[in-house]
Structure 1
Amino acid sequence: MASFVTEVLASSGKLEKEDLTGKINKLSRKVEDAKEEVCDMINKRYNEFLPCMQGAEALLGQAEDLSKEIDILKSCIETEVHQNLHTAVTEYAKLKQQLERNTTVIAMLRHLEEFHLAMEEFHRVLLEKKYVNAAKQLEKARDSADSLKAWKGSELPLLRALSSELTVQRENLIYHLGDEWKRLAVWKLPSSKETKGAMSFLKTELHLTLGGTKEPQQSLLSCVLQALAIQGELQHKIKLFSQVLLKYILKPLIMYPSLNVEVSEQQGEGTVLSIQSAETPEEHSSPSQVYTKVLLVLKTLHTHLLGGHPCIYSWSLHIYLLGAVWGLLVVLSVILGDLVWQEMSHCIIHECLLYSIPTDSSQLEQYNVVIKETEEFEKSLKEMQYLEGDSTELLKYAQDVNCHFASKKCKDVIVAARKLMTSEMHNTVKITPDSRLSVPKLPNPGSGDNKGKQGAKKPEAYMLENEKQLGARTLCLPVCRISESVQQLMELALHTLSEAVGSSTQWYALMSLSATAGVTYNLLKFPHLAAVQHNNCMYIAHHLLTLGHQFRPHLPDPLSKGAATFVDLVPGFRKLGAQCFLAQLNVQRAEMLERLSTARNFSNLDDEDNYSAASKAVRQVIHQLKRLGTVWQDVLPVNIYCKAMGTLLNSAISELIAKIMMLEDISTEDGEHLHILCQTIIEEGPLVFIPLPDEHKNKKYQEEVPVYVKKWITFKELVIVLRANLQEIVDRWAEGKGPLALEFSSSEMKSLIRALFQNTERRAVALTKIK
């Protein structure tokens, strides 16, 4: 073979084409033979799984010699082609193309050689538990296989065999790494049925064993993690680990103050993290306690699991030099921090910081200690690279203490208000024009934060203005009764606003106003409670008129400039109270009309049964009015009480008038009976207008019945007509100018006369006079 090359180099300038072609063809046949033998060997090794290692080294040596001869021949040919360019372009181009194909084949054989050597080395180091080296060899084999796939015309069955072998061995490596991981990071957990309450987590332990390894200056645990990272499985393993860590260690330590964490070093066995019991009377952990416990856990993991081994830095540098997943492996703490931070910080906020918010504005200054502790906590996490960035929800929550304090305080106010609103309404207190709510002493609007405000008036100035314009009884409630809980509710509102005045935070002042306004009631159907409900709403509306103005000069901007008023809520409360009471009046009116419907239309009263039914209906109406009077006496204001009773009585007599006017024939006996029934109403009806029977001065309301009962005069005129003769009726008509004509039309009176009197000349004359 060497003599052939010497002869080619020794040529004087011109190559004999026939001789050169023959030699190249001979060389090509040798290359093809080598290719077939190598592919046959690789197929038997990785596809047919036949033990065929004999002659492999000789074949590789032969391939190397062929490669050298091809390089020499290629150089020589290129020189001759340039010398004889015009005469042998086509022949030499074909020869060069054939040599390039041979070069490609040799390159493929080299990749096959590299794949085979990497796989052999992988099996060797895997048996020795050199997992990092095993992972690297597997990646080298993968690179060789990928290079083979890039060549066109590659042997497809052979590539499939190589890919299958890579997949099998990668799964084999991952299985070994997972098995080692389970052995080196061992969890001892309570059963899923036991994870209720703090005591169930006392069985939680985490054993971290470094393990021995043949790698220099590396623990087995760190080598396992590095190998997982090279194979792209580290993220999945750390994710599963973080889920268990959150559920069984971090969250219980945050939620239960009676739990603590203990770190112990066991000689020859590694580090143990265990949950221990700690006696404490506190219901919720303080931020300082939570931060201390969480940092102890994370520092232990950082030292013994994630970043505390010397191999981490060499490992990271190696990965960087290889150009692989560098961002994932700078420090494993970043991965774990990303996985646990959001859920852990959310738990700290809702299980710890939420309960550490002060309940009194005087404690707000002391909360700066918690803010400082939160900053130090996050600083420690950043140093261990669990946390990245400058702004976090945890620190923001602690820094927004004023807003959270206002929100918490307002929730407490709403809870207290709701408790008062759902308490018994039957317990009432009497309100008089002299009743006053005790307003706490307010600071001088000219001092403190409001000092120097332009246009701010002193309380004396407001009092002087009011004295000039308003009387002593202006904006005073009438005598009535309200629920004791509503009075306490208004006192709560005053106390809340007074504390808001003393607070330096505008958020608290603003939200206190909102909380004070959050009052509502449901409509009630019982007469007594409906009246109390009406008074309650009117009482609240009354105080809403002045509540904001009392505190406006003392509140921070912009509330002091007119925003702190509740006047817009007044119509809503008034409407609510009116709707409740009107609904009750409609219920009572419907009951009253239903009772009158049983009177058999007040016809044929000479029949004893008919008269008994009519008399019973009238007596029931009178009894209903008296019962309502008893219920509403001393509850409703006098004017509201009289209007309500007048409305109901007016509905009753209007129904009675309508039924009598519908009668077509009224005998003398019927007229007498009707007169008796109507006279009963005239005598007993006004009695319900005496709100307080023991006070004779209120008898004036009995004399003012026509003011509240629109049909009262009409009813009295009807009663007179029932017992009058024709002449008396004509006289009271007085040619359309008498009292009878003011209440009835001529057609109504003629119809009534025809029903009361027989058809005689006297009746006819009387009818002609009714015009």
Structure 2
Amino acid sequence: MASLVSEILMSAGQLEKRDLQTELNKVKSKIDDAKFQVSKFVEQHYQDFDPLLVHSRELAETSSKLSEEVQQLVEKAETELKFQLDSSTNEMNSIGSQINAAKLQVQLLERVSQLHTILEKLKKMSVEDIIPYAEAIAEAESILNDAEDHIDTELDIWRSVKFEIEKNKDNLLKHLEDSWNTEIQWTKKDALVQLKLNADKLKDVFQGLAIIGQLDRPLCEWSSRLYDEILIPLTKADTVIQFEDHLELIEGQRSITELVELERAVGNISLTFQHLNKHLDFKLNDVLVLQLIGKQVADDFVKLFVKTCLKSTLPASSSLLSSPEYRASLEMVVRLEEEMVEIGFLTEKIIEEFAVNVDLFFADKQCLESLSRARQLMCLDLHDTICLKDNVEQTMVEEEERNSAETAHLWKMLSEGGMEIKWSPFRFPPCQISRSTQDLIEMLTNLVQEAGSSSATERSSARLLFTVRSICELYVSVVPEFHRDALNKLPFHAAVAHNNGMYLAHSILTLGTGHLIKLVQQNGVPLMDLVGKFRQLAAHIFLEHMKSQRDQLLAILKEAGFNRLENESRLPSSVEKAGRQVLHQLRNLQKIWQPVLPNEVYLRAIGTLSNSVLEELLLRITTMEDIPAAAALQLTDQCQSFINTLPLLFGPFDAEDTEDKKEMLALVMQHVHLWSRFEELKHLLGAGLRDIEGRWSSGKGPLAVHFAADEVKQMIRALFQNTDHRAATLSRIK
């Protein structure tokens, strides 16, 4: 019984399978027939351009019926597949693949039919009907794009239909481009710009381009032109605009610097955006057109407006930031921004941030202008100088401030740092400094006073003080590099640069005194360490130049020919010439440095160089092994010329024999440490053995103070011949 049932079921299953295969073959035959007819129809209609259309509606109905039959087969096959899955998997998979292929072919036929319907609709429409025409094109493109992801689109039928759609789209695009140029008319001639918008048809043009996805490029180009030819000129002080049925603008050239000019520019900008909003007040995909334009150029315009209109009209003093006139101008700017946000050009309030943080923008402007101006001053020639004179009245006032409790710790710091101050720290000795340095110090003073004013906020004060520090650090880097050649070669420039650095250090030390200390403590901006940097810079510049001068003087003496005395009885003329040249160079340095340097600095500088010259002369003369009598007299005269001339370096340049000779000699003794030794050498060269022995005085005389016994013996051997008298004298020199 069980076997009989099984046989019946198997027979039924095979029968169902044979029926299914038979029906599938019939459907495939019908599909092939439909494909042939559709292909033939499309070929006639789109490839051969046969105007006869006979079977279009029948084909659509056939496609629909085929779709229903295929769906029924799918459902029947799925049932059969589940029932016979274990026994006939391979066979049913094959049938399933054939069914899927049939489904894809039917889908292709359906899409071709849909596209044909759209093409027929487009034939009945004109491109003048922009919106429905664009919507039909968009629908066709959507079908094409969706089908290309799933269906073999390399068929001739599909390419023909696609070509026809693209041809219609090109026709629409050409019409839209022509309409765009008609409805938006630009005219530019020199400084005159005209813009005419036709609001009636402009909306359809924008929407048509948006529907077919072709708006971005023309809108971007138009926005850029609007920015370049309309918005940028609106930020000029003398731009003129007028409105009739179109916008007409005459571009100006002057930058905005006054509040009156800012008010005029804000009014022009407001009127321009009202005009644009009047003609472009519609949406595309729920987004305002001006908002789309704003995405392209709003950020650039806001930055330009802030830079050329707002920053350029910042007042010169922070106290004016709260003046009624300036506050009114800021309120006017904020209202303009609100208008642009309302019409969609701006999506957020950016300009309002300027009004809120105007103190920082003011500080930034001052900082940038100060840094730029400071660098210009640093690069000016150093030779344009002014004289600093001692101001007794100012010193008394500053001394009183020094004694205040607020600044007492400053002077305590100086004393603890080991600084020996021979005069009031508030006084600077008379000298010459560059005019540019004086201007720089005035700038620094103004910045500090601005930072300490009651109207300055803590944030702006900190920025201003950091700018003071930045300018000082810039000076230390720029000046020695920019003026390198002049500082190395020209003694005047080196002296002035020394004074400039020292005066800057002095100015930082005394700048603002008490209230500067408060500002530094509040804002954490260190300034006092700059004092040491300026002093080091000044000292380094002048010392390097002094080394150069010393090397020149010593080179003259080394090449004078002292060593030729061993072969000649008289002093070579080159020695006398070298002596005159050295003295001339020292006198020239006196002429240059004495009016420029502080007196104490000059005395130390000229004393150091004089000492180096005497040291070289002493070395050359005391190391000679043989000095003929005639040469000794010449050397004595040479030494006397130095003794007569060097004291003049320590008095007024144009003075000759004056009553101040004792004072000059005292200064020579103070600053030229080898002066007494050199005088003794002169005596030694012109003295006899008895005089030498008398000045030695058993090691207690003036000669013994400046020369060792061996040095005296060496000179005696060089000056005198080998006699019993010389031998006796040498024996007593010990």
Q: Give the TM-score normalised by the residue count of structure 1.
A: 0.77
**Which residue of the partner structure matches residue 616 of structure 2?**
655
Paired residues of 2:233 and 2:252 also in contact (CA < 8 A): no
Residue type matched to 1:259 in 2?
T
Aligned-residue offset at 1:461: 5.4
Residue type matched to 1:113 in 2?
S
Aligned-residue offset at 1:511: 4.1
Aligned-residue offset at 1:685: 1.9
Q: What's the CA shift string for 1:24-51, capped at 9, x where partnerless?
A: 7556534432221112222343345555
Paired residues of 2:127 and 2:175 also in contact (CA < 8 A): no
**Which residue of the partner structure matches residue 373 of structure 1?**
332
In 2, distance between residues paired with 1:179 and 1:653? 96
Aligned-residue offset at 1:142: 2.8
Cα distance, 1:64–1:706 mapped onto 2, change above 3 Å? closer
Paired residues of 1:690 and 1:702 also in contact (CA < 8 A): no
**Which residue of the partner structure matches residue 638 of structure 1?**
599
Select 1:250's aligned residue among 211, 220, 231: 231
Which has the larger displacement, 38-47 or 284-293? Answer: 284-293
Q: What's the CA shift string for 1:489-544, capped at 9, x where partnerless?
A: 54554455444433322344344444555354556454344334433433332232
**Which residue of the partner structure matches residue 111 of structure 1?**
111
In 2, distance between residues paired with 1:108 and 1:482? 97
Aligned-residue offset at 1:415: 6.4
Q: What's the CA shift string for 1:189-230, capped at 9, x where partnerless?
A: 23xxxxxxxxx321x1122224xxxxxxxx432222112112
Which has the larger displacement, 458-467 or 131-140? Answer: 458-467
**Which residue of the partner structure matches residue 205 of structure 2?**
224
Paired residues of 1:406 and 1:512 also in contact (CA < 8 A): yes
In 2, distance between residues paired with 1:23 and 1:467? 113
Paired residues of 1:606 and 1:670 also in contact (CA < 8 A): no
> Match of 1:205, SS?
strand
In 2, distance between residues paired with 1:23 and 1:604? 137
In 2, distance between residues paired with 1:240 and 1:626? 75
Paired residues of 1:371 and 1:399 also in contact (CA < 8 A): no
1:579 and 2:543 aligned: no
Paired residues of 2:130 and 2:205 also in contact (CA < 8 A): yes
Residue type matched to 1:231 in 2?
I
**Which residue of the partner structure matches residue 216 of structure 1?**
none
Paired residues of 1:437 and 1:491 also in contact (CA < 8 A): no
1:504 and 2:467 aligned: no
Paired residues of 1:549 and 1:565 also in contact (CA < 8 A): no
**Which residue of the partner structure matches residue 434 of structure 1?**
392
Cα distance, 1:41–1:714 mapped onto 2, change above 3 Å? same
Matches within 5 A, 1:183-222: 183-190=182-189, 200-202=190-192, 204-210=193-199, 219-222=200-203
Q: What's the CA shift string for 1:356-385, capped at 9, x where partnerless?
A: 211123321133323322322222122212
Cα distance, 1:165–1:764 mapped onto 2, change above 3 Å? farther
Cα distance, 1:585–1:732 mapped onto 2, change above 3 Å? same
Matches within 5 A, 1:116-515: 116-125=116-125, 127-146=126-145, 148-149=147-148, 156-190=155-189, 200-202=190-192, 204-210=193-199, 219-254=200-235, 256-265=236-245, 272-276=246-250, 286-305=261-280, 307-308=281-282, 312=283, 326=285, 329-366=286-323, 367-389=326-348, 391-392=349-350, 394-411=351-368, 422=380, 425=383, 427-432=385-390, 434=392, 436=394, 474-475=424-425, 477=427, 479-483=429-433, 485=435, 486=437, 490=441, 493-505=444-456, 506-515=458-467
Which has the larger displacement, 236-245 or 409-418? Answer: 409-418
Select 1:531's aligned residue among 491, 495, 508: 495
Cα distance, 1:236–1:702 mapped onto 2, change above 3 Å? same
1:755 and 2:731 aligned: no
Paired residues of 1:503 and 1:509 also in contact (CA < 8 A): no
Aligned-residue offset at 1:761: 3.6
Q: What's the CA shift string for 1:368-407, capped at 9, x where partnerless?
A: 3233223222221222122223x52x32233221122223
In 1, distance between residues paired with 2:78 and 2:592? 127
**Which residue of the partner structure matches residue 540 of structure 1?**
504
**Which residue of the partner structure matches residue 8 of structure 1?**
none
Residue type matched to 1:547 in 2?
L
In 1, distance between residues paired with 2:388 and 2:425? 17
Residue type matched to 1:273 in 2?
L
In 1, distance between residues paired with 2:205 and 2:255? 44
1:729 and 2:692 aligned: yes
**Structure 2 stretches of 5 or more lacking a match?**
1-13, 416-420
Residue type matched to 2:626 in 1?
D
Which has the larger displacement, 234-243 or 469-478? Answer: 469-478
1:679 and 2:653 aligned: no
Paired residues of 1:433 and 1:478 also in contact (CA < 8 A): no
* Identity, % of aligned positions: 29
Aligned length in residues: 691
> Match of 2:249, SS?
strand
In 1, distance between residues paired with 2:74 and 2:531? 104
> Match of 2:316, SS?
coil
Residue type matched to 1:201 in 2?
A
Paired residues of 2:387 and 2:432 also in contact (CA < 8 A): yes
Select 2:579's aligned residue among 608, 611, 618: 618
Aligned-residue offset at 1:103: 6.2
Aligned-residue offset at 1:736: 4.8
Paired residues of 2:242 and 2:248 also in contact (CA < 8 A): yes
In 2, distance between residues paired with 1:560 and 1:156? 84
1:666 and 2:633 aligned: no
**Structure 1 stretches of 5 or more lacking a match?**
1-13, 191-199, 211-218, 266-271, 317-325, 443-456
Which has the larger displacement, 405-414 or 364-373? Answer: 405-414
In 2, distance between residues paired with 1:49 and 1:491? 89
In 2, distance between residues paired with 1:717 and 1:294? 90
Residue type matched to 2:613 in 1?
A
In 1, distance between residues paired with 2:410 and 2:144? 97
Which has the larger displacement, 679-688 or 410-419? Answer: 410-419
Paired residues of 2:112 and 2:161 also in contact (CA < 8 A): no
Paired residues of 1:480 and 1:535 also in contact (CA < 8 A): no
In 2, distance between residues paired with 1:19 and 1:484? 114
In 2, distance between residues paired with 1:539 and 1:80? 104
Paired residues of 2:583 and 2:642 also in contact (CA < 8 A): yes
Aligned-residue offset at 1:251: 0.4
> Match of 1:120, SS?
helix
In 2, distance between residues paired with 1:24 and 1:634? 119
Paired residues of 1:370 and 1:398 also in contact (CA < 8 A): no
In 2, distance between residues paired with 1:547 and 1:120? 89
Aligned-residue offset at 1:726: 3.1
> Match of 1:436, SS?
helix
> Match of 2:511, SS?
helix
**Which residue of the partner structure matches residue 6 of structure 1?**
none
Paired residues of 1:149 and 1:159 also in contact (CA < 8 A): no
Aligned-residue offset at 1:619: 2.4
